[in-house]
């Protein structure tokens, strides 16, 4: 099971990272907090203090096209907000 799928890089998460030493990730829906903590510590070599998770359901989306009305849903996902230890940080922009 690939636990960490991708980091969340938004203005809000960047601000939380600077002020509160927190980072966000999209994670596997089946992963629990202990597995997420272990995966982040191994992947980024940092100390994790806390893990908060949120489950998001998919939204209904629809659009009208020439061929008719198309309705569907976006994917459901799980978000994890990781609080790092004092003085630790993760730099997502170093590989760009």
- CATH 3.30.70.330 correct for 4-84: yes
pLDDT digits (tens, 9 = 90+) for 25-71: 999 999 999 999 999 999 999 999 999 999 999 999 999 999 999 99
CB atoms within 10 A of CB 15: 11
DSSP for 50-89, written as a single string: EEEEEEEPPPEEEEEETTEEEEEEPPPEEEEEEEEPTT--
Residue 74 has pLDDT above 90, yes or no: yes
Query: Nearest-CA neighbor of 42 among 3, 95, 81?
Result: 3
Residue 95 has pLDDT above 80, yes or no: no
Cα–Cα distance for residue pair 81/20, rounded to 1 Å? 11
| Matching residue, tokens 């061929």 | 67
pLDDT for 92 equals: 83
Tell me the pLDDT band of 1, cut-offs 50, 70 and 90.
low
Q: What are phi and psi of 75, to 5 degrees?
A: -75, 145
- Which residue would you say has higher pLDDT here, 67 or 92? 67
- Tell me the domain boundaries of the chain: 4-84
The residue among 93, 83, 96 whose CA lies nearest residue 9 is 93
């Amino acid at each position: 099971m690939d636990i960490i799928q991708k980091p969340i890089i938004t203005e809000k998460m960047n601000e939380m990272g600077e002020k509160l030493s927190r980072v966000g990730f999209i994670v596997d829906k089946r992963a629990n907090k202990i597995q997420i903590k272990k995966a982040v510590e191994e992947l980024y070599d940092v100390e994790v203090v806390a893990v908060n998770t949120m489950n998001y359901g998919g939204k209904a989306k629809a659009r009208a096209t020439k061929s008719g009305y198309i309705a569907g849903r976006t994917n459901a996902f799980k978000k994890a907000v990781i609080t790092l230890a004092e003085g630790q940080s993760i730099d997502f922009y170093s590989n760009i």
